[in-house]
Structure 1
Amino acid sequence: MALATALTGTLTACESSATAQGTARTPTTARSGVVAAQETRLAELAQQDVDAGAPGIVVRVDKGDGHVIEIARQAPWTRADHTLAASDAFRMGSNTKTMVATVVLQLVAEHRIQLTDPVEKWLPGLVPNGSAITLRMLLNHTSGLFNYTQDPDVLKAFTGQDSRAWTPRELIAAGVRHDPLFAPGTDYTYSNTNYVALGLVAEKATGHTLGDLIQQRIAEPLRLKNTYLATGTGTATGPNTKIGTGTGTGTGTAKSPALAHGYEPDADRIAPLLPPYAPAGTAFAGPARSAGYVDTTWINSSTQWAAGGMVSTARDWARFDSALLSGRLLPPAQLKEMKTTVAEEAEIPNRRYGLGLEKVVTPCGTVWGHNGQVPGYSSEDYTDATGRRTVSVFTTTIFGIAKPETAAANQALVNAAVSTMLDKPIPTTPPSAPTDS
């Protein structure tokens, strides 16, 4: 979402070698054996990721044929905090943008707002040059607005060094006090400022909080019992609690899963992993843990909101992705708009950005989804064009998988999971580590 948007590698899933595991045309009588082999290989790769330095991994693959693979692996030192399970809740980071975009496009379908509406119409005086920036530009990151999470003051709160809560309007103000990066509609740059503005537009157009809109329009119809918008820190780790305080958060239920603990490298170890814009001394706050990590689970989430504040489970998010791509949440016209893409950065030519949804072209085929990073949590979630197949890879760190050897292990796991989802051979050649931009 902020510090780590450049850490996501390029999906290189698939290979055609005869020695690779799996096949796209396996006879029905052998399906169980193939699935078992795929699950075994994914479990091996997840363990290799942990052995390389990742604190914890959750993998979920639904092949759309009744076979679901769920795997959880964690470093031994993390068990004192929490026993990781595939059903645990995670902070979803920028995957939130897909849900927010879905709500916005539902409002478009209801003629409450239009993609061509200028921001100024809904948020008068809040965004400079708002009369030239449309809602579509916010959705596909072509507004030119500076990313507020790169503002030094917000960055202190994002990393937990400053515990005060931020309001959405304060986040936008932090973004727009920096010069725009380009004229509206002329280029692409990923900016969380766009989605905080969209959250405010949705609230203004409906009179409801964003958290309530997501619950009423997405979570409740799809029975996503463990999915909600968090805006605070929370105080408990028990299985019957939900984190988050303040307007628009979810409410706990007896079946709410535990929140997986998240970790980041300590101040000494994180310095060489930070992006160039991070000020000297940037580090994450939290209780010290083994292996040079700090526990970032309870960092205040008010800096995330519509840009990255969702909490969910792998199963819930797969259900959402499936419903979205299969047309259950949006009319055809709005789903087509969502899948109309623009080019992202030149160094990731296989990725294109739609309206809150990424299109990723892999050697296996095209997948749709998003990724997310907030303190202590990284996630990649994809589905095929029909929504029938889904995959999620959750990691309990951002920068713990930034070192070359850990990054390569994590990318190998993501590639294998995507290959398995698409019923393609799992690559046997390890990928090179993703490079920072």
Structure 2
Amino acid sequence: MRRRTLLTAGLAVAASATITSTSAAAADEVSPQRSAGPDFVALLDAVVTAGAVSAIAEVREDTHVWRGGSGSAELGGHRAAPVAGRYRAGSVTKTLVATVVLQLADEGRLRLSDSVEHWLPGLVPGGRRITVRHLLQHMSGLFDYTSDLLPEPSAVLAIRSRTFQPVELVRIAVAHPPYFEPGTNQNYSNTDYILLGMIIDRAAGRSWRTEAERRILRPLGLRDTELPGASPRIAGPHAHVYIAAPDGVPVDVTTMNPTMAGAAGELISTTADLNRFFDTLLTPGCLLPTATLADMTDPRDTGFGLGLEVADLPTGRVFGHGGGGPGFLGLSFITADRARQITLTSAVWGGEPHAAAAAMLMAALGGCLI
């Protein structure tokens, strides 16, 4: 759930091969690795070699789709990582939440200029100066509650069965001084999206989970995607994730109460579902009107749109979001023309697979096939 530097690292990785496409039609088939272009099998294997138990990915170029897996579903096991398996997507949740907020704004249910105090009176000191737009773009200045709740990865072992209420997480945050005055700077804060979930609850009269399900998950047919609330298990095929106990022994933390993440990161999904979501989101008029989508994707020199990470690769702009948490690292990004995209997740153990994952991102999004 913490701020990732994966996309930034990707900008520094020189990918040895690249991809192109000619249109943004929806992917309609899964094909084996092409003989030309990047060797995605080797790139995914490199993620595991660099320090992951497993890694799975879906890469799309126009209507051509490649899906693959590397490593084992369990540490020390022999069962292959499930290529179509479900996994915790972490902060990719934020893009889903931001989309709902923007839809409510278009419907006149809230305004991006509304203050936190307007919707959640008395909860956040200085809340009159923090707007919904500040929250969307991580410009609130509010302390990131996860820095207190999870000062080190092994801290999750003491709380992984506990159910947190959103207000508890906000109170952890506001017990610390803010990083800066609202709107004057930017700092990635999970607290911002916990607050946005609460604002959706008030503005819509229904929970943010219900709104996301009825507005996005069901209409898009994302049947393998869920917002589990306090349910700790991942249903269906999935790989396991681990963290090191203080003595260095690996502990399986696949089963975990995700309320510690809530609207900032509780999403469970698949690579196929997330690619469909981002492709639809970036299609003007599907989930958002053209003008609203333009607002969402404008980074305003910050590297963040409204619920989106934005970066300019050598061959063009890309949009998406990273997602990490105890024992896992992932990403989902798409090019501005919707021609190419990648979703990848890995169960991190025994190393640092960030650079290898960034290399695969760059190979999938970063160039042209001659």
| Aligned residue in 1 for 2:364 | 417
Match for residue 138 of structure 2?
Answer: 141
Q: Which residue of 1 aligns with 2:250?
A: 293
Match of 2:51 in 1: 53
- Separation (CA, whole Å) in 1 of partners of 2:268 and 2:184: 33
**Which of the numbers 96, 104, 108 marks the counterpart of 1:107?**
104
Q: Does 1:322 align with 2:293?
A: no
Summarize the Cα distance change of 1:71–1:221 in structure 2 as closer, same or farther, 3 Å threshold. same
Aligned to 2:239: 260
Residue of structure 1 in register with 2:27 after alignment: none
Whether the aligned pair in 2 keeps the contact of 1:90 and 1:313 (CA below 8 Å) is yes
Residue 211 of structure 2 aligns with which residue?
213
SS in 2 for 1:45: helix
User: Which of 227, 239, 257 is matched with 1:229 structurally?
Assistant: 227
Letter in 2 for 1:110: E
Q: Report what 1:178 is aligned to.
A: 176
- After TM superposition, give the deviation of residue 333 of structure 1 in Å: 2.0
CA distance in 2, matches of 1:126, 1:157: 30
- Identify unmatched segments of 5+ residues in structure 2: 23-30
Which secondary structure state, in structure 2, belongs to the residue aligned with residue 367 of structure 1? Answer: strand
TM superposition shift of 1:389: 2.6
Counterpart amino acid of residue 240 in structure 2 = H
Judged with a 3 Å threshold, the aligned counterparts in structure 2 of structure 1 residues 14 and 48 are, in CA distance, closer, same or farther, namely: closer
Partner SS, residue 92 of structure 2: helix
For residues 152 and 85 of structure 1, do their structure 2 counterparts lie closer, same or farther at Cα, with a shift above 3 Å needed? Answer: closer
Q: Determine helix, strand or coil for the equivalent of 1:311.
A: strand
CA pair 266-103 structure 1, distance change in 2 beyond 3 A: same
| Letter paired with 1:45 | L
Distance 1:148 1:212 in 2: 24
1:74 — aligned with what?
A: 71
Counterpart AA for 1:357 = L
- Helix, strand or coil at the partner of 2:243: strand
Judging changes above 3 Å, is the alpha-carbon distance between structure 1 residues 89 and 356 closer, same or farther for their aligned structure 2 residues? Answer: same
Of 111, 118, 122, which residue of structure 2 is paired with 1:121? 118
The Cα of 1:83 is off from its aligned counterpart by 3.6
Amino acid at match of 1:340: D
Aligned to 2:269: 312
Where do residues 157-176 of structure 1 align in structure 2 (5 Å cutoff)?
Answer: 159-162=156-159, 163-176=161-174
State the identity %.
Answer: 36
Post-superposition CA distance 1:147-192 (Å, at most 9, x none): 0101147878961322321100110111111001111110000000
- CA contact 2:242–2:326 (8 Å) conserved in 1: yes
Residue in structure 1 matched with residue 25 of structure 2 by the alignment: none
Match of 1:338 in 2: 296
The residue identity in structure 2 corresponding to 1:378 is L
Alignment CA distance shift 1:170-1:155 (3 Å): farther
Amino acid paired to 2:181:
A
Q: 1:356 matched to which residue of 2? A: 307
Q: Which amino acid aligns with 1:331?
A: P
User: Is the contact made by 1:90 and 1:377 (CA closer than 8 Å) also made in structure 2?
Assistant: no
Aligned to 2:26: none
CA 1:159 to 1:37, structure 2 compared with 1: closer, same or farther past 3 Å?
farther
- Asked whether the 8 Å contact 1:91–1:311 carries over to 2, the reply is yes
C-alpha displacement at 1:267, in angstroms? 2.8
Residue identity matched to 2:220: L
For 2:57 and 2:32, the matched residues in 1 are separated by: 19
Deviation of the 1:35 alpha carbon: 2.4
CA contact (8 A) 1:14 1:363 kept: no
Which string of whole-angstrom CA distances, capped at 9 and with x for unpartnered residues, describes residues 109-165 of structure 1? 001000000111100001111111100000001110000101147878961322321
TM-score, with structure 1 as normaliser: 0.75
For 2:162 and 2:78, how far apart are their aligned partners in 1? 25
Give, in whole Å, the separation in 2 of the partners of 1:15 and 1:409. 11
Query: Is the partner of 2:96 in helix, strand or coil?
Result: helix
Q: Which residue of the partner structure matches residue 35 of structure 1?
A: 34
Q: CA deviation at 1:233?
A: 4.6
Q: Which amino acid aligns with 1:143?
A: S
Which residue identity lines up with residue 341 of structure 1 in the other structure? P
